[in-house]
A and B are shown apart, each in its own frame.
Chain A
């Protein structure tokens, strides 16, 4: 039983660390802000959630201490991590950060122009 619990804990924590490493490599390797935000918000959220789940299982199965605060933290990260990435990318688009030169499609641009026309800006 202890071995099974240990395998579960090690699986979740190493999965989380792997995803965090992938997120860090993505931050270095990807060309512009939007792809980097994609890497950072998705991969880092999943990585931290996995590590928290591993910690939760460790305290539950090894120390017999059921800690619902960690589950609340998982839920909180699941809600707020992607929304943080969304808000950062959107505000940098509106502030005028250009996407990568190889981008072929920009759906937000006509929408922003429509909003500007409706509110009589420029």
Chain B
């Protein structure tokens, strides 16, 4: 029976943004505090799963038209690229670089190439989790 679930859908719309921005916070906080790419990716995937539960698999695929298998590939390429970049400058594999920059709004910030590696991990985790859940969730 199809029932009226307006409370669930409205709450999911509201809560999705809280969970997603908390995931972004976890991702960027990973260098100095607990968090990082893996947890951030899992929390992002759980936010999308909340949308899937509240709405529909097809609705969410039209809202977020992302091919998650390509997302895994992009993440792996990003992680491997940041790891292999140092080989071209004569340093060992996985040598990371960092420096201090003066960004317009944020001021003096230290940017580290480990964040790019973490972004790769994030994309892989989101992609793998969403691929698993979408594959299991499809009826056909």
Known A80-B11, A86-B7, A87-B8; judge A121-B18 contact (CB<8 A). no
* Cβ < 8 Å to B, chain A residues 82-122: 83, 86-87, 90, 94, 112, 115-116, 119, 121
Tell me the bound Cα distance from A62 to B115 in angstroms: 33
Could you tell me how many residues of chain B have their Cβ less than 8 Å away from some Cβ of chain A? Answer: 12
* Cβ < 8 Å to A, chain B residues 9-49: 11, 14-15, 18, 22, 25
Contact B1 A94 (CB under 8 A): yes
Tell me the bound Cα distance from A46 to B55 in angstroms: 28
Tell me the bound Cα distance from A15 to B7 in angstroms: 29
Tell me the bound Cα distance from A39 to B25 in angstroms: 34
Is A79 in contact with chain B by the CB < 8 A criterion? Answer: yes
**Shortest Cβ distance from A121 into chain B, in angstroms?**
6
Known A72-B18, A80-B15; judge A115-B7 contact (CB<8 A). no
Q: How many cross-chain pairs have Cβ atoms below 8 Å apart between A and B?
A: 32
Contact B1 A119 (CB under 8 A): yes
Is B108 in contact with chain A by the CB < 8 A criterion? Answer: no
Tell me the bound Cα distance from A69 to B22 in angstroms: 8
Specify which of B2, B3, B18 lies most central, judged by the most chain A CB atoms within 10 Å of its CB: B3
Interface of A, helix, strand, loop or mixed by DSSP: helix
Q: What residues on B are CB-neighbors of A80 within 8 Å?
A: 11, 15
Contact A115 B18 (CB under 8 A): no
Contact B11 A115 (CB under 8 A): no
Tell me the bound Cα distance from A80 to B25 in angstroms: 20
Q: What residues on B are CB-neighbors of A112 within 8 Å?
A: 1, 3
Is A75 in contact with chain B by the CB < 8 A criterion? Answer: yes
Find A115's partner among B3, B8, B15, B25 (CB 8 Å cutoff): B3
Q: What residues on B are CB-neighbors of A72 within 8 Å?
A: 18, 22
Contact B18 A119 (CB under 8 A): no
Is A66 in contact with chain B by the CB < 8 A criterion? Answer: no
Is A59 in contact with chain B by the CB < 8 A criterion? Answer: no
Contact A116 B7 (CB under 8 A): no
Residues on A lying within 8 angstroms of B by beta carbon are 69, 72, 75-76, 79-80, 83, 86-87, 90, 94, 112, 115-116, 119, 121
Residues on B lying within 8 angstroms of A by beta carbon are 1-4, 7-8, 11, 14-15, 18, 22, 25
Nearest 7 A/B pairs, CB to CB:
A83-B11, A121-B1, A76-B18, A87-B8, A79-B15, A86-B7, A80-B15
